[in-house]
Structure 1
């Protein structure tokens, strides 16, 4: 009959700023990095680094225990250092052995109950002293100090059901240990409050056959030996050791008042390492829930900029979270399962009651007893496997390569009846993949060595495909599409040590809500999930028999519900393995009331419009109002859809659109210091009931402020009013701003120095000037409201500050520099097309997303626009199909007992029709034990996109130069590690595996992108917007932004073609991004993602110009041409067909711009030719020589 649904009571003042609301003075907290790596092999041991890894305290709302976070090197390595103490290396004062005194052993108790995201855990760890400096042959960077947030506290209102405030006085006592600086011989007393669990088995011996053991030993020695010379540095910023320690306190949300938990944060400063790096080896606690700081990002993590390290926000208003999704399921599970919880355990909060927790049975070291599984549960070494197939060697624990099982003589596990199944199970696959090593057979194409300095034509003729995981063909068919779910390594290393040796980042690129042409929707009343880790049933689980299935993430045996025995597709009974949930890796469930804390919200849209003199002059109001009129009936929603409008200049204007009025009423509030809603009940109206009044307002708005002389902009007060108006329901706020806010709360001052735009040294003000917009976004997120920003500005508008309103509320940012409806028609056209997509695309409200992975893997950093509610749960007030996310991962425990790992993301949201839905994606990848296999499975585009996200964070938390150096070091270290495994290589050769041959080219392209380029005039807002895009774009669109595609289009008739919807589409080959490929006789199309450039050579054939451009010759082509005419000629038809095909592949329609030699826009075009040398940047060949020189140091 389902669980009993408790009714939540919300205090009347919920969502407004609590009393004593502390606001941090800075925007981005300094992100602690890993402990300084010493030059010892112990660096690769699980216990070398503290295992806790935390998300910023101000960005996490979860019951947790105190955690100590070490602020270490300002610049280190992107992933991890090579083992500094290498074979044959001499130990000196810098490369010394770590004594036992350099480790600190602490302990802490953490309670967390099963099924409720609360399970007791006692963990311990060894924390290495940070007194061992890093030495690098790449760069020596100066010391940089970064400020931390001051004390922040969010006390809850009296009687609030969401929790109580915690202050530093309530924190547990912290221990102290001495940190020794070997450079200065000084000792610093550092607080350390929690002992972390040390993952076991990180140094376990890789399982290989005896025939290749010696080869792998040689590879390991070569790699280790090189590591002494080449140090991989890419890590987060640290702080000067003289900086004081700051503590951060925050309130933790609960379902019931009175439940107590403690949270502490201690930040230790230490020396910065000599060379920058984007990320370090994460320190992850095995516990699913960690202290707020326990998810602080290391390495190239850039504070709140990417990981939404926001101060605590009010607990969410609604039940729309993946946390909700699991927590309600957990409540349901708790009905017939018992668990023991310590009396000190925190009570479930709203979100953690719906989406559920992690591994209460498997992760706790001293957890309380859990109920026995419904079926026989064996030890890990003898787990039964089957998935409806004859039992083979256990797929998740084959320590040695299993012997292939003959299909004709299947082995059977005693005691289990087996059922036929269409596809092989994970366990069958495991038997054939368990001993997989690419070195056993002929070398695959992905490992073919490529001499980068000699082979100049490495760019493929067509787009680079995603690598295919080395899986059984049947499982490969079932695997998730790389367009939705992609991993940087399609072969997962068996241990963290092996991952460290490869010098490549492990992470996921997600596009969870993308538009799909085919999506299985499950309407069954029963959603089958693992009772332990809450994983949704998927194609990679194992059916032991007809009544039991084994989870592919935590290995628990679960019962098959009676309802699941019936297959609605085949209308048959007794074949659960043929259900659509088990045949599709991407599915969507219609959620029941168990996944709701309140009735699903209606679609609510509020438009906040700048009507100052600057806005009227730009002319954007006409375009916005016209687009709204055209798409009013297409807004996603149902009969409950509501809409409202606010305009502002030096005052704030509201519009009464209540049904029954003869015309809209304007209500002006001039007291911007004490903003209020004049008629709260009539400002958001039903779209269908008041449609005529809404149309009247949209027709009148462009002319209402024509003669205004108000030059000021009270954006802050208008947003405060919008928040008050939207708080009761949640929804979407669309803000249109044209200048720097100059009045009231949130006013900003110009920080850009035009003379510093071309600086090659320090780029300042990449972070916000005030916390007002960030705090407002957190308040909005707590009330399930997202804020989307449209910035249409001709001058500096401090996007670094304004962008916070969208980044922390899961909103979107659109930027139109130099916007003017008549003087810049290209931007006006782009706004019109973007609005059409924006207003009509699918939208999800009050959403949450959780990512789960096979036991042994852990998530430690998120990238994108969202609010981190707990260590693995993202709160998304709105979710849209154009948003992408990135995740950094680490290997917490050795994966020697499994040959396959799986990742699953679950997105719980409310559709515009008021349905609660859960979209689930599941990805399966093989585990490998050799370094060659790791390189063979590298996905170079995913690696580059993840590094771009990390570099953005590093730019904000540290400096742009550190981020650039870290990107270069990422290439140096990975290629050096690969070359160390190969024999007979000459020093004059720069060799990369075929899978990584484009790595240096893509990194060079990234360095020349607006976000990271130096020595070239770049407006600050342009740079910040490029960084925002990198944080929120899906991989497919981000790659076009990083490395555009260049095609020759004056000879499309001769090219091969494809047929799409009865349309013939030419497929010209890709050209190198170099001027040497441009000819005066040709015409070229450059696809930069958001803009198309058509470059016309001076001697281009007049027939092409006439047929395609519609002009008789080159001289008559106008300077600002943005449209191609429809001419009845084959070349015109083919060109327009090709461009239309490219446009159809992306959500936002790019603007087209025709470029001639004398056109001012040609500068932008030539800046995208990244293989050519510029005054401030290497050519591609020079960059390769630079990489080779650093490797040979």
Structure 2
């Protein structure tokens, strides 16, 4: 059988994904002294990676200790040096940490205000060797010596000041943030709002006394040290709060294949947790010298406090920004979501003066690193054996009840009060643990359904009846209830392999899929001055920690034993004392903390929105201004914000027009700047105005704007100068820039030329120009990110606009990209309706400002590549100038050290942001997964949807850094390698069959669907902008939306009945079964609905029953149905009610309301509909059955 030209039947073996290319990196192989290799507790002489920005020089000398090389790592890129030289021209010095002893609160406040934004270096973006085109939004980390010179955005980092406490960025003479000292202890309030998270909840603020401060240090969140994991306590989730988890942990074996060919050269970073502290005389960011780590003592109790403080309410900011702290400086420091501060950390936590510690830094101590905080003798003895996860105070997990400890250490009476337990208690041994973990291993139990062999070439009906659910991790029931929802946090493998070698055998990628800021109907919001975190790795306390006793808890990521703060002993839900394990933080894997002022570098910024609008002839003809202005008028009062919300408008064609909307004017004033080569702000103080004070002028402008340029003949577009002006206008505060563009920029900075050859759109060979043509838009995005400003792009074009270049403004500033090809208000009503619905969601959805996100994981695991729209500030810290509920991220991981001494691993993501109401908040998600030692268990836990979404991200990077052909070959090889590895381990398999475990039976189908997507297809006419936009979507969509894009759902809806239904809010919703995406399922007598995520296609057969057409579509027969119909009428008929109920139910499950498009045989959109039938053969691509035969042929070679 001949292979279609679009998919080579024999992809080269080299085209596979792997964690890196040639080169190597260092990982901690064993501590130099102190704790044994497999013992819990801190290590000595662990390597510490800088929390600053940049990468080590090639001649970098690592700290003392024993390190082993990791194969297949890419060499460092030279692009960082290029950016440092040309993009950050100034210099400043690295900060120094000062040791602080006990200080009075007044003195502390004075010192806090002295350290302004001077000491955090800017960050350079790591990209590939191949100029800017290779740098898509994934992050490969490269280390450079911090002794190099850095510069700051706009030279804001000129002053060098050292301080002994964490700076909040407040001016010395500011009277806004006087932090009161609270003497009495108040206890926190927890709210479980029934409305969407992010509203205003009732809160009680509390104070926490802190011990004297010793030396401190910075640490990264990840470590490659392998140790046993403690078990969590018996806990219960509050009624109505969903903590169900279906996640999958993924194995880096395939990742090895995937990453190598998808992302090109990737520098892998070993994220480790330092067990000791850095000498205070050394700069925090300097790691190019050997450092001897020391470790302080446990610190005093909460009664010996340095200070007690609570968070003051955010002050009201005037429209004029304060002159003292700059936004850039705040951007750089706040990015360090490493939130350590006096009033917000556990009671034994000293204060750090660097925001890398706010979310990622750790604390040093004064003693030797080898000694943990001096646990009791029995605890020391117990640490020699691997400890169960969660065994400890106050009682065993239900799954452990039958496991007898080596010696009786406490009464077995269920009524025994936990406070009376005899400590120290002993842990069960490894053998006892394995028998009591509730079946964490699959080897000795009956074969699970996920391992049932499926003959893919014979079993043609492999699609489930309904949507594919996320697999549930093989944990005991209590841990399963506590685990994070797969909608927020999902792993490609729900069973984590013990070693990298086992992962390599499985040939599956290991990674995480994140949706950290998604809309939640119920979210525990916690207000307390004490946010309890591990003193070493800065992990937030969570359901999977273990309590040694009432006063100590063990971190589930680095295994350090920490003190329980006095305030944490009180449970605000039960109003009882002495039950820290019942606190909401330990009962919910997703929580949100109201952060105190210690998590702020400046007063919380107001919500600021700037709209930059194309008003050239093209734009006026397209008619988007009418839709935008109408939508703004309707939603002006719904824009997220408070009384400080500010708004502004800029329009541009061949010149740039500003609008003075200052309160007191009788009408808006237009100010035109024609010198686009030297753009300036004509009246800086009146272009961004208070929304409430100038609302009438804003409404006047929005009413007049659509008709203001009706007669324009300007065909040029000065987008670059308009963006430069927008950046200058937003720099003092930060916020969101919304850019509306309709054509190729043709004047001034950032002008572009057409690079598309229409004759090459159907090429089966080389697809060029997937990367940017200029670095102007990337540099602008980096500037904006430094000033806490995100840029969102709305591209409404009827012709090529070089989205590959324009998209950079959003990729690197944490913005969003919206694309409307062939947009015209009247000629293309489907796109016009889509814009209208998208704008309603865009203008009213939640938004977080000046955000940073960090991901932590258990010792032995490390993160090496991020995917999404962001800017990387340090090895594990993402800068998100804006965060929205529709943004998704992906992470690639590897196993640095064996996990043989632990039964469970955990991942935790922390998102620090400023809400639109001016509150500093931290949203924390924690995921727990089992560790397995057999290959069959790894396959049993495979999450095929998460695997495909991670591969899609990797393939986008590979397409840009290498070629589209290489990315396609690597995707095919991902299937070949994984199925070949599975078949090689299974017995009694005939070579003539293609067998997959049930967990991976959809893998070939999804990869074929991916290959037929606009992003990766060849041989089919595909506009370059369409292809680039599809790639942008794959890099930024959450999993649930990305899967609809890759493999749509097809339903037959002309036979809906009340038999298979569900009840949702007193509404009966039919549940038709899923159909194969093949024309063989379509009949001329039927009607079929295809759910593609952002659009619904309703295909009507020519011979469809006239009663259905009349009742559902409102027309007497097929011929009378119009081609451009996009709405279903409300007809009082059972079939109409069922159909509308089903479509409404589908729409309600996603944030962006999809547009409905009716498809008839003569409809031009029919081509788009049939291109989604991915199981059918086309001229350039295999059918599904042919693809299976090709896979089998590759395996049998």
Output the TM-score relative to the length of structure 2. Answer: 0.71
Q: 1:727 to 1:755 in 2, by over 3 A?
A: same
1:218-273 deviation digits (Å, cap 9, x = unpaired): 99999999999999999999999999999999999999999999999999999999
8 A Cα contact 2:216 2:277, kept in partner: no
The Cα of 1:546 is off from its aligned counterpart by 1.0
8 A Cα contact 1:208 1:435, kept in partner: no
Q: Please state if 1:698 is matched with 2:737.
A: no
1:2-22 deviation digits (Å, cap 9, x = unpaired): 999999999999999999999
Q: 1:850 to 1:784 in 2, by over 3 A?
A: same
8 A Cα contact 2:327 2:733, kept in partner: no
Q: 1:158 to 1:609 in 2, by over 3 A?
A: closer
8 A Cα contact 1:498 1:931, kept in partner: yes
1:393-440 deviation digits (Å, cap 9, x = unpaired): 999999999999999699999999369999999999876339843121
Equivalents in 1 of 2:250, 2:47: separation in Å?
64
8 A Cα contact 2:513 2:946, kept in partner: yes
DSSP-derived class of the 1:474 partner: helix
Unaligned runs of 5+ in 2: 1-39
Which of 1127, 1131, 1134 is 1:1130 aligned to?
Answer: 1134
Aligned residue number for residue 795 of structure 2: 791
DSSP-derived class of the 2:966 partner: helix
DSSP-derived class of the 2:611 partner: strand
Q: 1:274 to 1:58 in 2, by over 3 A?
A: same
8 A Cα contact 1:551 1:558, kept in partner: yes
Q: 1:50 to 1:490 in 2, by over 3 A?
A: farther
8 A Cα contact 2:211 2:349, kept in partner: no
Q: 1:1113 to 1:927 in 2, by over 3 A?
A: same
Aligned residue number for residue 497 of structure 1: 501
Larger CA deviation: 1101-1110 vs 48-57: 48-57
**Runs of 4+ in structure 1 over 2 Å off:** 1-62, 64-298, 334-351, 356-437
Aligned residue number for residue 529 of structure 1: 533
The Cα of 1:881 is off from its aligned counterpart by 0.2
8 A Cα contact 2:179 2:310, kept in partner: no
Aligned residue number for residue 943 of structure 1: 947
Which of 841, 844, 850 is 1:840 aligned to?
Answer: 844
Q: 1:169 to 1:975 in 2, by over 3 A?
A: farther
1:93-150 deviation digits (Å, cap 9, x = unpaired): 9999999999999999999999999999999999999999999999999999999999
DSSP-derived class of the 1:116 partner: helix
The Cα of 1:381 is off from its aligned counterpart by 3.3
8 A Cα contact 2:271 2:863, kept in partner: no
The Cα of 1:34 is off from its aligned counterpart by 3.3
Q: 1:512 to 1:803 in 2, by over 3 A?
A: same
Aligned residue number for residue 786 of structure 2: 782
Equivalents in 1 of 2:239, 2:75: separation in Å?
21
8 A Cα contact 2:1098 2:1157, kept in partner: yes
Aligned residue number for residue 148 of structure 1: 186
Q: 1:167 to 1:31 in 2, by over 3 A?
A: farther
Which of 347, 369, 375 is 1:371 aligned to?
Answer: 375
8 A Cα contact 1:600 1:915, kept in partner: yes
DSSP-derived class of the 1:1139 partner: helix
Q: 1:395 to 1:349 in 2, by over 3 A?
A: farther
1:189-244 deviation digits (Å, cap 9, x = unpaired): 99999999999999999999999999999999999999999999999999999999
Equivalents in 1 of 2:731, 2:882: separation in Å?
14
The Cα of 1:1018 is off from its aligned counterpart by 0.2
Which of 1063, 1076, 1081 is 2:1080 aligned to?
Answer: 1076
Q: 1:518 to 1:120 in 2, by over 3 A?
A: same
Q: 1:17 to 1:635 in 2, by over 3 A?
A: farther
Q: 1:1108 to 1:1176 in 2, by over 3 A?
A: same
Q: 1:834 to 1:987 in 2, by over 3 A?
A: same
Equivalents in 1 of 2:603, 2:170: separation in Å?
56
8 A Cα contact 2:386 2:902, kept in partner: no
Q: 1:961 to 1:27 in 2, by over 3 A?
A: farther
Q: 1:116 to 1:1151 in 2, by over 3 A?
A: closer
1:628-681 deviation digits (Å, cap 9, x = unpaired): 000000000000000000000000000000000000000000000000000000
Equivalents in 2 of 1:42, 1:673: separation in Å?
28
8 A Cα contact 1:784 1:878, kept in partner: yes
The Cα of 1:1061 is off from its aligned counterpart by 1.1
Aligned residue number for residue 131 of structure 1: 169
Q: Please state if 1:681 is matched with 2:719.
A: no
1:571-602 deviation digits (Å, cap 9, x = unpaired): 11111111111111000000001101101000
Q: 1:150 to 1:563 in 2, by over 3 A?
A: closer
Larger CA deviation: 565-574 vs 249-258: 249-258
Equivalents in 1 of 2:988, 2:171: separation in Å?
33
Equivalents in 2 of 1:844, 1:1136: separation in Å?
34
Equivalents in 2 of 1:119, 1:83: separation in Å?
8
The Cα of 1:1093 is off from its aligned counterpart by 0.4
Aligned residue number for residue 409 of structure 1: 413
Unaligned runs of 5+ in 1: 299-333
Equivalents in 2 of 1:578, 1:288: separation in Å?
40
8 A Cα contact 2:157 2:329, kept in partner: no
8 A Cα contact 1:1047 1:1069, kept in partner: yes
Larger CA deviation: 251-260 vs 955-964: 251-260
Q: 1:984 to 1:346 in 2, by over 3 A?
A: same
Q: Please state if 1:72 is matched with 2:110.
A: yes
1:679-706 deviation digits (Å, cap 9, x = unpaired): 0000000000000000000000001100
Equivalents in 1 of 2:185, 2:578: separation in Å?
62
1:1041-1064 deviation digits (Å, cap 9, x = unpaired): 000000000001255111111111
Q: 1:199 to 1:361 in 2, by over 3 A?
A: farther
Q: 1:125 to 1:1054 in 2, by over 3 A?
A: farther
8 A Cα contact 1:601 1:730, kept in partner: yes
8 A Cα contact 2:848 2:884, kept in partner: yes
Equivalents in 1 of 2:327, 2:896: separation in Å?
12
Q: 1:436 to 1:1097 in 2, by over 3 A?
A: same
Q: CA RMSD in A?
A: 17.8
Q: 1:14 to 1:1076 in 2, by over 3 A?
A: closer
DSSP-derived class of the 1:699 partner: helix
8 A Cα contact 2:277 2:295, kept in partner: no
1:263-303 deviation digits (Å, cap 9, x = unpaired): 999999999999999999999999999999999999xxxxx
8 A Cα contact 1:553 1:902, kept in partner: yes
1:1146-1183 deviation digits (Å, cap 9, x = unpaired): 11111111111111111110000000000000000000
The Cα of 1:353 is off from its aligned counterpart by 3.5
Q: 1:881 to 1:446 in 2, by over 3 A?
A: same
Equivalents in 1 of 2:175, 2:754: separation in Å?
40
The Cα of 1:1121 is off from its aligned counterpart by 1.2
DSSP-derived class of the 2:1027 partner: helix
Q: 1:225 to 1:852 in 2, by over 3 A?
A: closer
DSSP-derived class of the 1:851 partner: strand
Aligned residue number for residue 169 of structure 1: 208
Larger CA deviation: 161-170 vs 637-646: 161-170
Q: 1:954 to 1:154 in 2, by over 3 A?
A: farther
Q: 1:1073 to 1:254 in 2, by over 3 A?
A: farther
Q: 1:232 to 1:367 in 2, by over 3 A?
A: closer
The Cα of 1:726 is off from its aligned counterpart by 0.4
Larger CA deviation: 973-982 vs 1048-1057: 1048-1057
Equivalents in 2 of 1:643, 1:88: separation in Å?
33
Structure 2 counterparts to residues 172-321 of structure 1, below 5 A: none
Equivalents in 2 of 1:98, 1:654: separation in Å?
33
1:519-569 deviation digits (Å, cap 9, x = unpaired): 000012211111111111111110111111111111111111111111111
1:952-1001 deviation digits (Å, cap 9, x = unpaired): 00000000000000000000000000000011111100000000000000
Which of 870, 881, 892 is 1:877 aligned to?
Answer: 881
Q: 1:1168 to 1:867 in 2, by over 3 A?
A: same
Q: 1:349 to 1:218 in 2, by over 3 A?
A: closer
How many residues are matched?
Answer: 1157
Larger CA deviation: 425-434 vs 910-919: 425-434
Larger CA deviation: 441-450 vs 172-181: 172-181
Larger CA deviation: 260-269 vs 711-720: 260-269
Q: 1:276 to 1:296 in 2, by over 3 A?
A: farther
1:744-801 deviation digits (Å, cap 9, x = unpaired): 0000000000000000000000000000000000000000000000000000000000
Equivalents in 1 of 2:249, 2:699: separation in Å?
78
8 A Cα contact 2:405 2:428, kept in partner: no
